[in-house]
Structure 1
Amino acid sequence: MNKATNPIPIALAVVVIALGTSAPARSQTEDLAERFLRGEVRNCQGCNLAQTNLSKTIRKNARLRQTNLRGANLSESNFEGAYFTCARLNDANLSNSNFIFANFVDADLAGANLAGADLRYADLSGADLTGANLSGAKLDGAKLWDAATIYDGSQDLDRIERSPKTARLRCEAGDS
Protein backbone atom coordinates (compact mmCIF):
# COMPACT_ATOMS: atom_id res chain seq x y z
CA MET A 1 0.00 0.00 0.00
CA ASN A 2 1.33 3.40 -1.04
CA LYS A 3 1.58 6.00 1.59
CA ALA A 4 0.54 9.39 0.35
CA THR A 5 2.63 12.22 1.68
CA ASN A 6 1.07 15.47 2.66
CA PRO A 7 2.70 18.32 0.62
CA ILE A 8 1.87 21.06 3.16
CA PRO A 9 4.46 20.16 5.85
CA ILE A 10 7.17 19.83 3.19
CA ALA A 11 6.34 23.22 1.67
CA LEU A 12 6.23 24.78 5.14
CA ALA A 13 9.64 23.32 6.00
CA VAL A 14 11.13 24.77 2.79
CA VAL A 15 9.74 28.24 3.62
CA VAL A 16 11.06 28.10 7.21
CA ILE A 17 14.52 27.04 6.02
CA ALA A 18 14.57 29.75 3.36
CA LEU A 19 13.51 32.45 5.84
CA GLY A 20 15.93 31.29 8.49
CA THR A 21 18.96 31.47 6.22
CA SER A 22 18.30 34.81 4.59
CA ALA A 23 20.57 37.60 5.78
CA PRO A 24 19.81 41.25 5.28
CA ALA A 25 21.27 42.56 2.05
CA ARG A 26 24.51 44.46 2.54
CA SER A 27 25.51 47.29 0.30
CA GLN A 28 28.82 47.28 -1.51
CA THR A 29 29.90 50.40 0.40
CA GLU A 30 29.22 48.66 3.74
CA ASP A 31 31.39 45.71 2.68
CA LEU A 32 34.04 48.10 1.38
CA ALA A 33 34.03 50.05 4.67
CA GLU A 34 34.59 46.87 6.67
CA ARG A 35 37.43 45.83 4.36
CA PHE A 36 38.98 49.30 4.70
CA LEU A 37 38.79 49.11 8.50
CA ARG A 38 40.55 45.73 8.40
CA GLY A 39 43.28 47.25 6.19
CA GLU A 40 42.47 45.02 3.21
CA VAL A 41 41.80 47.90 0.79
CA ARG A 42 42.95 51.51 0.46
CA ASN A 43 39.96 52.75 -1.56
CA CYS A 44 36.81 53.48 0.40
CA GLN A 45 35.23 56.12 -1.82
CA GLY A 46 31.76 57.12 -0.63
CA CYS A 47 31.92 54.92 2.48
CA ASN A 48 30.20 55.80 5.74
CA LEU A 49 32.87 55.81 8.44
CA ALA A 50 31.15 58.36 10.69
CA GLN A 51 32.06 58.09 14.39
CA THR A 52 34.63 55.39 13.54
CA ASN A 53 37.80 54.98 15.60
CA LEU A 54 40.75 55.07 13.21
CA SER A 55 43.28 56.35 15.75
CA LYS A 56 46.86 55.16 15.33
CA THR A 57 46.02 53.85 11.85
CA ILE A 58 48.43 53.76 8.91
CA ARG A 59 46.62 54.28 5.60
CA LYS A 60 49.11 56.01 3.29
CA ASN A 61 47.66 57.01 -0.10
CA ALA A 62 44.15 55.97 0.93
CA ARG A 63 41.31 57.00 -1.42
CA LEU A 64 38.48 58.43 0.69
CA ARG A 65 36.72 60.71 -1.81
CA GLN A 66 33.21 61.70 -0.65
CA THR A 67 33.59 59.51 2.44
CA ASN A 68 31.60 60.38 5.56
CA LEU A 69 34.08 60.63 8.44
CA ARG A 70 31.94 63.00 10.52
CA GLY A 71 32.98 62.76 14.18
CA ALA A 72 35.56 60.03 13.44
CA ASN A 73 38.78 59.69 15.44
CA LEU A 74 41.85 59.76 13.18
CA SER A 75 44.24 61.01 15.87
CA GLU A 76 47.88 59.92 15.81
CA SER A 77 47.38 58.30 12.40
CA ASN A 78 49.38 58.31 9.17
CA PHE A 79 47.36 59.32 6.11
CA GLU A 80 50.29 60.68 4.11
CA GLY A 81 49.27 61.30 0.49
CA ALA A 82 45.65 60.27 1.16
CA TYR A 83 42.75 61.68 -0.87
CA PHE A 84 39.94 63.20 1.19
CA THR A 85 38.46 65.16 -1.73
CA CYS A 86 34.88 66.21 -0.93
CA ALA A 87 34.97 64.12 2.27
CA ARG A 88 32.94 65.07 5.36
CA LEU A 89 35.34 65.35 8.29
CA ASN A 90 33.40 67.87 10.35
CA ASP A 91 33.90 67.50 14.09
CA ALA A 92 36.47 64.75 13.46
CA ASN A 93 39.61 64.37 15.59
CA LEU A 94 42.65 64.54 13.29
CA SER A 95 45.07 65.72 15.97
CA ASN A 96 48.75 64.78 15.86
CA SER A 97 48.34 62.92 12.56
CA ASN A 98 50.43 62.88 9.39
CA PHE A 99 48.65 64.36 6.38
CA ILE A 100 51.75 65.39 4.39
CA PHE A 101 50.77 65.79 0.71
CA ALA A 102 47.17 64.77 1.52
CA ASN A 103 44.36 66.11 -0.65
CA PHE A 104 41.47 67.79 1.19
CA VAL A 105 40.10 69.70 -1.83
CA ASP A 106 36.52 70.82 -1.08
CA ALA A 107 36.45 68.73 2.13
CA ASP A 108 34.25 69.71 5.08
CA LEU A 109 36.57 70.12 8.07
CA ALA A 110 34.30 72.48 10.02
CA GLY A 111 34.87 72.03 13.74
CA ALA A 112 37.60 69.43 13.16
CA ASN A 113 40.46 69.09 15.63
CA LEU A 114 43.68 69.44 13.61
CA ALA A 115 45.85 70.42 16.59
CA GLY A 116 49.42 69.28 16.02
CA ALA A 117 48.55 67.73 12.64
CA ASP A 118 51.25 67.67 9.97
CA LEU A 119 49.61 69.25 6.93
CA ARG A 120 52.80 70.19 5.08
CA TYR A 121 52.18 70.41 1.33
CA ALA A 122 48.57 69.29 1.81
CA ASP A 123 45.99 70.70 -0.60
CA LEU A 124 43.14 72.25 1.37
CA SER A 125 41.77 74.26 -1.59
CA GLY A 126 38.08 74.94 -1.16
CA ALA A 127 37.98 73.16 2.22
CA ASP A 128 35.68 74.43 4.96
CA LEU A 129 37.84 74.96 8.04
CA THR A 130 35.31 77.06 9.92
CA GLY A 131 35.85 76.56 13.63
CA ALA A 132 38.63 74.01 13.08
CA ASN A 133 41.38 73.85 15.70
CA LEU A 134 44.67 74.38 13.86
CA SER A 135 46.82 75.14 16.89
CA GLY A 136 50.30 73.72 16.46
CA ALA A 137 49.48 72.36 13.00
CA LYS A 138 52.35 72.31 10.49
CA LEU A 139 51.16 74.13 7.38
CA ASP A 140 54.40 74.77 5.47
CA GLY A 141 53.64 74.67 1.74
CA ALA A 142 49.96 73.87 2.29
CA LYS A 143 47.51 75.16 -0.32
CA LEU A 144 44.50 76.98 1.11
CA TRP A 145 43.03 78.47 -2.08
CA ASP A 146 39.34 79.22 -1.58
CA ALA A 147 39.42 77.61 1.87
CA ALA A 148 36.89 79.00 4.33
CA THR A 149 38.43 79.52 7.73
CA ILE A 150 38.52 81.86 10.64
CA TYR A 151 42.13 82.92 11.14
CA ASP A 152 43.04 82.99 14.83
CA GLY A 153 46.57 84.35 14.40
CA SER A 154 48.39 81.21 15.56
CA GLN A 155 49.64 80.17 12.10
CA ASP A 156 52.41 81.73 10.00
CA LEU A 157 50.48 82.56 6.83
CA ASP A 158 53.60 83.79 4.97
CA ARG A 159 54.49 80.18 4.10
CA ILE A 160 50.99 79.13 2.96
CA GLU A 161 49.92 79.27 -0.67
CA ARG A 162 46.53 80.93 -1.01
CA SER A 163 44.34 82.97 -3.39
CA PRO A 164 41.10 84.97 -3.03
CA LYS A 165 39.04 82.87 -5.46
CA THR A 166 35.42 82.13 -4.63
CA ALA A 167 34.35 78.72 -3.38
CA ARG A 168 33.50 76.01 -5.90
CA LEU A 169 30.70 73.49 -5.78
CA ARG A 170 32.61 70.65 -7.41
CA CYS A 171 31.62 67.96 -4.92
CA GLU A 172 27.95 68.15 -5.83
CA ALA A 173 28.80 68.18 -9.52
CA GLY A 174 31.25 65.28 -9.17
CA ASP A 175 34.05 67.18 -10.91
CA SER A 176 36.74 66.60 -8.25
Structure 2
Amino acid sequence: MGNRRLRKMGRKVAISFLIGSLATFLAPSVRAEKPEHLQRIKQTRNCFKCNLKKANLANISLKGAFLRETNLQEANLEGADLRFAVLRKVNLKKANLKNADLTGAILRDVNLDDAILTGATLPPRYQRRSKSDSKVRVPELIIDILKQQRR
Protein backbone atom coordinates (compact mmCIF):
# COMPACT_ATOMS: atom_id res chain seq x y z
CA MET A 1 0.00 0.00 0.00
CA GLY A 2 2.94 2.38 0.64
CA ASN A 3 4.29 1.88 -2.89
CA ARG A 4 0.90 2.58 -4.42
CA ARG A 5 0.63 5.88 -2.52
CA LEU A 6 4.17 6.89 -3.60
CA ARG A 7 3.38 6.15 -7.25
CA LYS A 8 0.22 8.28 -7.05
CA MET A 9 2.17 11.13 -5.48
CA GLY A 10 4.89 10.75 -8.10
CA ARG A 11 2.34 11.01 -10.91
CA LYS A 12 0.74 14.09 -9.35
CA VAL A 13 4.12 15.78 -9.00
CA ALA A 14 5.05 14.89 -12.59
CA ILE A 15 1.72 16.19 -13.94
CA SER A 16 2.03 19.42 -11.91
CA PHE A 17 5.57 19.93 -13.21
CA LEU A 18 4.46 19.31 -16.79
CA ILE A 19 1.54 21.75 -16.53
CA GLY A 20 3.77 24.40 -14.96
CA SER A 21 6.40 23.95 -17.66
CA LEU A 22 3.84 24.21 -20.45
CA ALA A 23 2.26 27.30 -18.91
CA THR A 24 5.67 28.98 -18.71
CA PHE A 25 6.59 27.99 -22.26
CA LEU A 26 3.28 29.02 -23.82
CA ALA A 27 2.81 32.25 -21.83
CA PRO A 28 3.34 35.46 -23.83
CA SER A 29 6.67 37.16 -23.22
CA VAL A 30 6.60 39.89 -20.58
CA ARG A 31 6.78 43.33 -22.14
CA ALA A 32 7.11 46.44 -20.05
CA GLU A 33 6.99 49.13 -22.72
CA LYS A 34 3.76 50.79 -23.72
CA PRO A 35 2.97 50.07 -27.40
CA GLU A 36 1.75 53.63 -28.04
CA HIS A 37 5.05 55.03 -26.70
CA LEU A 38 7.03 52.62 -28.88
CA GLN A 39 5.04 53.71 -31.93
CA ARG A 40 5.46 57.41 -31.05
CA ILE A 41 9.24 57.20 -30.74
CA LYS A 42 9.54 55.31 -34.03
CA GLN A 43 7.33 57.79 -35.91
CA THR A 44 8.27 61.16 -34.40
CA ARG A 45 11.59 60.52 -32.61
CA ASN A 46 10.20 62.52 -29.69
CA CYS A 47 9.07 61.09 -26.39
CA PHE A 48 8.21 62.92 -23.19
CA LYS A 49 7.71 60.75 -20.10
CA CYS A 50 7.57 57.57 -22.18
CA ASN A 51 7.81 54.09 -20.71
CA LEU A 52 10.08 52.08 -22.96
CA LYS A 53 11.40 49.74 -20.29
CA LYS A 54 12.78 46.55 -21.88
CA ALA A 55 11.86 47.81 -25.36
CA ASN A 56 13.71 46.38 -28.34
CA LEU A 57 15.09 49.36 -30.22
CA ALA A 58 18.10 47.64 -31.75
CA ASN A 59 19.52 49.38 -34.84
CA ILE A 60 16.86 52.12 -34.69
CA SER A 61 17.61 55.57 -36.07
CA LEU A 62 16.89 58.18 -33.41
CA LYS A 63 19.18 60.82 -34.89
CA GLY A 64 18.27 64.19 -33.37
CA ALA A 65 15.60 62.61 -31.16
CA PHE A 66 14.28 64.47 -28.15
CA LEU A 67 13.80 62.19 -25.15
CA ARG A 68 12.88 63.72 -21.83
CA GLU A 69 12.04 61.83 -18.64
CA THR A 70 11.89 58.62 -20.63
CA ASN A 71 12.38 55.21 -19.04
CA LEU A 72 14.67 53.07 -21.19
CA GLN A 73 15.74 50.79 -18.35
CA GLU A 74 16.98 47.43 -19.69
CA ALA A 75 16.08 48.52 -23.24
CA ASN A 76 17.98 47.04 -26.17
CA LEU A 77 19.55 49.94 -28.08
CA GLU A 78 22.32 47.87 -29.64
CA GLY A 79 23.58 49.59 -32.78
CA ALA A 80 21.12 52.49 -32.36
CA ASP A 81 21.84 55.83 -34.04
CA LEU A 82 21.44 58.44 -31.30
CA ARG A 83 23.64 61.10 -32.91
CA PHE A 84 22.73 64.63 -31.79
CA ALA A 85 19.86 63.27 -29.67
CA VAL A 86 18.82 65.20 -26.57
CA LEU A 87 18.44 62.90 -23.57
CA ARG A 88 17.31 64.65 -20.40
CA LYS A 89 16.42 62.79 -17.22
CA VAL A 90 16.50 59.51 -19.15
CA ASN A 91 16.85 56.21 -17.32
CA LEU A 92 19.25 53.93 -19.20
CA LYS A 93 19.98 51.67 -16.24
CA LYS A 94 21.09 48.24 -17.49
CA ALA A 95 20.34 49.29 -21.08
CA ASN A 96 22.25 47.64 -23.91
CA LEU A 97 23.99 50.43 -25.84
CA LYS A 98 26.52 48.13 -27.47
CA ASN A 99 27.84 49.74 -30.67
CA ALA A 100 25.37 52.64 -30.35
CA ASP A 101 26.42 56.02 -31.77
CA LEU A 102 25.85 58.96 -29.41
CA THR A 103 28.13 61.39 -31.23
CA GLY A 104 27.06 64.94 -30.41
CA ALA A 105 24.29 63.74 -28.10
CA ILE A 106 23.35 65.87 -25.11
CA LEU A 107 23.12 63.78 -21.96
CA ARG A 108 21.75 65.55 -18.89
CA ASP A 109 20.75 63.76 -15.69
CA VAL A 110 21.05 60.41 -17.47
CA ASN A 111 21.25 57.21 -15.44
CA LEU A 112 23.81 54.91 -17.07
CA ASP A 113 24.21 52.55 -14.10
CA ASP A 114 25.30 49.13 -15.35
CA ALA A 115 24.61 50.09 -18.97
CA ILE A 116 26.47 48.03 -21.56
CA LEU A 117 28.58 50.51 -23.51
CA THR A 118 30.95 48.16 -25.34
CA GLY A 119 31.83 49.69 -28.70
CA ALA A 120 29.51 52.66 -28.14
CA THR A 121 30.58 56.06 -29.42
CA LEU A 122 29.93 58.54 -26.62
CA PRO A 123 30.13 62.34 -26.54
CA PRO A 124 33.69 63.49 -25.67
CA ARG A 125 32.93 64.30 -22.03
CA TYR A 126 31.72 60.74 -21.42
CA GLN A 127 34.55 58.91 -23.15
CA ARG A 128 36.88 56.88 -20.99
CA ARG A 129 40.50 56.05 -21.60
CA SER A 130 39.99 52.37 -20.86
CA LYS A 131 37.78 50.64 -23.41
CA SER A 132 38.12 47.27 -21.66
CA ASP A 133 35.16 47.78 -19.31
CA SER A 134 31.84 46.67 -20.74
CA LYS A 135 29.90 48.30 -17.91
CA VAL A 136 30.28 51.91 -16.86
CA ARG A 137 28.69 53.56 -13.85
CA VAL A 138 27.85 57.26 -13.83
CA PRO A 139 29.86 58.06 -10.67
CA GLU A 140 33.00 56.76 -12.42
CA LEU A 141 32.27 58.98 -15.41
CA ILE A 142 31.84 62.04 -13.18
CA ILE A 143 35.17 61.33 -11.46
CA ASP A 144 36.89 61.00 -14.86
CA ILE A 145 35.35 64.27 -16.06
CA LEU A 146 36.48 66.11 -12.93
CA LYS A 147 40.03 64.76 -13.32
CA GLN A 148 40.13 65.96 -16.95
CA GLN A 149 38.87 69.42 -16.00
CA ARG A 150 41.63 69.83 -13.39
CA ARG A 151 44.34 69.35 -16.00
TM range (shorter): 0.5 to 0.7
Aligned residue type for 1:34: Q
Q: Which residue of 2 aligns with 1:47?
A: 50
Unpaired runs of at least 5, structure 1: 1-28, 125-130, 135-146, 152-156, 164-176
Q: Find the aligned partners of 2:37 and 2:62 in 1 and give their Cα distance.
A: 15
* Paired residue secondary structure (2:88): coil
Note the C-alpha offset of 1:33.
3.6
Q: Find the aligned partners of 1:132 and 1:85 in 2 and give their Cα distance.
A: 23
Q: Which residue of 2 aligns with 1:133?
A: 135
Structure-to-structure mapping, 1:107-122, within 5 angstroms: 107-121=110-124
* Paired residue secondary structure (2:40): helix
Q: Which residue of 2 aligns with 1:166?
A: none
Q: What CA RMSD, in Å, does the superposition of the two structures yield over aligned residues?
A: 3.0
Give the structure-1-normalised TM-score.
Answer: 0.53
Q: Are the counterparts in 2 of residues 103 and 122 from structure 1 also a CA contact under 8 Å?
A: no
Give the structure-2-normalised TM-score.
Answer: 0.61
User: Residue 107 and residue 162 in structure 1: after superposition, are their counterparts in 2 closer, same or farther (change >3 A)?
Assistant: farther
* Paired residue secondary structure (1:99): coil
User: Residue 47 and residue 113 in structure 1: after superposition, are their counterparts in 2 closer, same or farther (change >3 A)?
Assistant: same
**Which of 139, 142, 149 is matched with 1:148 structurally?**
139
**1:47-68 deviations in whole A, cap 9, x for unaligned?**
0000000001111011111100
Note the C-alpha offset of 1:122.
5.8
User: Residue 122 and residue 45 in structure 1: after superposition, are their counterparts in 2 closer, same or farther (change >3 A)?
Assistant: farther
Structure-to-structure mapping, 1:7-18, within 5 angstroms: none
Q: Are the counterparts in 1 of residues 82 and 100 from structure 2 also a CA contact under 8 Å?
A: yes
* Paired residue secondary structure (1:44): strand
Q: Are the counterparts in 2 of residues 94 and 114 from structure 1 also a CA contact under 8 Å?
A: yes
Unpaired runs of at least 5, structure 2: 1-33, 128-132
Q: Which residue of 2 aligns with 1:35?
A: 40
User: Residue 110 and residue 47 in structure 1: after superposition, are their counterparts in 2 closer, same or farther (change >3 A)?
Assistant: same
Q: Are the counterparts in 1 of residues 40 and 46 from structure 2 also a CA contact under 8 Å?
A: no
Q: Are the counterparts in 2 of residues 103 and 123 from structure 1 also a CA contact under 8 Å?
A: no
Q: Which has the higher strand share?
A: 2
